[in-house]
Structure 1
Amino acid sequence: MFMKALILAAGYATRLYPLTLNKPKPLLPVAGKPIIEYLVEKIANTGKVDQIYIITNQKFYQNFIVWAKNYKQKIAIKIINDCTKSEQDRLGAIKDIEFALKKEKINDDLLIAGGDNIFDFDFDLNEFILKSKKFKDSVIGLYDINDLKSAQRFGVVQLNKKSRIISFQEKPKNPQSTLIAMCLYYFPNIQLSKFSMYLKENIHYDAVGNFVSWLAKNNDVQGVVFKGIWYDIGDKHAYSQACEQFLNKSSKKR
């Protein structure tokens, strides 16, 4: 049975100015193609997803429409406009997810990924989906960044021996581990209504990690640890690192 995928791309990426003044971060090029295409290809190649939704904002909506029109990929892609126009009135990731769920009436198992995530050629997204379906719980992709100071910039996770999340801290000052949350999630359809429940009870709606932390208090949330190369393109330094890494990878494959 097919599932759906939602790519989060409604941010304004002010930390990458001037690169993102007139172009959304997921459409910035890395080794000759937009960041988002690496992710879309990974999703399409799983054979488990029949529809990809990409949620963006009013400012960059047409950029994505033009990109999708010219992008040759067999999987169906739909661009959603969350109608925000600036950094000041943006919805935040959790509200964007709820917006997409309601607008598109999504009621299938859902893979959610950040549009600024970029993985290397060895990253197995199919394995993540297979493990997620085996768990039958909500699942989060994890990465060992191997540095406590760097972990401060992310959601930090602790797992028990059964891979269940027992602690989730969003950008802690004193991380208890170097295992961090990637912006990669699997939610079975029975859990999708929890987004609206969370928003009724909480005011922190920017990072999906806040939702996962809340969810894990009363539900089993599993973690799947990935190896290989992964970048969260949060600033110019990360962007330049990703460009260098993927250019080197591409040249070696030739």
Structure 2
Amino acid sequence: MRAIILAAGFGTRLRPLTDETPKPLLEVAGRPIVDYLIDQVISWPEVASIHVAINDRHPATFAAWQSEWKTEMEEHGVDLQLHNNGVRSSGERIGAVGDLHAVLERIGTEQPTLVAAGDSLFRVALRPMAERFMNAERSQALALFSQDADELAHTSVFDLDDAGRVQGLVHAPDDPPSVWTSPACYLLTSQALGYVASYLEQGGDADTLGRFIDALAQRHPVEAFTMPRQTGLRFHINTPAQYLAASKTLAQNDVMGALDDSSGEEG
């Protein structure tokens, strides 16, 4: 098993914070955003490699960050690799699905893979989702609860059946089909990964992972791993206000602190 972290965005809405520092490497409570995700994934005994998709604007900064992880990666037997997409400006970007495709072209689609965005800081254990993925051998999509109308209108929202299977995933819906949002964290089978290339060849949206998962669910089984019905399980750091909120919260609490049991719900 392996992980692909998508960190090739330009963080334009976070400027000037991202003028000199890539968004995933902005520090929250003294640590880069992406480190909180890697802390979880590196401890999974099944994970042999972590692949980080980056752009060509700050490759040296990412290389320095990679070297800081060298000793710990070796201790866990995990190979940390950077994959530069060669893009130097936001106007040339190839999108999240495009970045995923570029990495898969280099490393293949044979291994089941965690695919996650590098700008989310999760305050919930992802290990239970990985365990169900390995037992069920079906793709899993992390689903977080929200009753915030504004959030539901500006994110990807799941359409689920009674068994928790994904019927669709609607991006920025006028009429949300559920209260379950997609934070761009998926465990995908080899078969699902193999669909990325044909999805793009058929004109699929290269920028939005949610739209790819929506199309995938029409062809391959995808289950939602629904977390407890509580808020605060994730910080999506996309604006200065979101960055300040995450920094303030984690300056006062451990990343997993002040939360209820974070094991996933049944279904």
TM-score normalised by the chain length of structure 2: 0.89
Matched, 1:90 2:93: yes
Structure 2: any 5+ residue segments left out of the alignment?
258-267
Any residues of structure 2 matched to 1:20-35 within 5 Å, and which?
Answer: 20-35=18-33
* Alpha-carbon RMSD: 1.7
CA distance in 2, matches of 1:203, 1:126: 30
Aligned with residue 118 of structure 2, among 104, 115, 119: 115
Query: In the alignment, what sits opposite 1:4?
Result: 2
1:148–1:177 contact (8 Å) kept in structure 2:
no
Matched, 1:182 2:186: no
Amino acid corresponding to residue 249 of structure 2 in structure 1: Q
Query: In the alignment, what sits opposite 2:82?
Result: 79
Q: After TM superposition, give the deviation of residue 167 of structure 1 in Å.
A: 2.8
Q: After TM superposition, give the deviation of residue 218 of structure 1 in Å.
A: 2.4
User: Secondary structure of the residue that 2:143 maps to in structure 1?
Assistant: strand
Amino acid corresponding to residue 38 of structure 2 in structure 1: V
Amino acid corresponding to residue 104 of structure 2 in structure 1: L
CA distance in 2, matches of 1:96, 1:26: 15
Identity of aligned residues (%): 26
Length, aligned pairs only:
249
Any residues of structure 2 matched to 1:55-70 within 5 Å, and which?
Answer: 55-70=53-68
1:148–1:178 contact (8 Å) kept in structure 2:
no
CA distance in 1, matches of 2:110, 2:2: 9
Query: In the alignment, what sits opposite 1:217?
Result: 218
Any residues of structure 2 matched to 1:195-206 within 5 Å, and which?
Answer: 195-206=196-207
Structure 1: any 5+ residue segments left out of the alignment?
none
2:159–2:170 contact (8 Å) kept in structure 1:
no
Amino acid corresponding to residue 97 of structure 2 in structure 1: I
Q: After TM superposition, give the deviation of residue 203 of structure 1 in Å.
A: 4.1
Q: After TM superposition, give the deviation of residue 117 of structure 1 in Å.
A: 1.0
Q: After TM superposition, give the deviation of residue 5 of structure 1 in Å.
A: 0.3
1:185-217 superposed Cα distances (whole Å, 9 cap, x missing partner): 111112211000101112411011111111112
Q: After TM superposition, give the deviation of residue 111 of structure 1 in Å.
A: 0.5
CA distance in 1, matches of 2:256, 2:185: 28
CA distance in 2, matches of 1:250, 1:98: 35
CA distance in 2, matches of 1:209, 1:85: 25
1:222-251 superposed Cα distances (whole Å, 9 cap, x missing partner): 100124621111111111111111111139
CA distance in 1, matches of 2:181, 2:250: 22
Q: After TM superposition, give the deviation of residue 166 of structure 1 in Å.
A: 1.7
Amino acid corresponding to residue 8 of structure 1 in structure 2: L
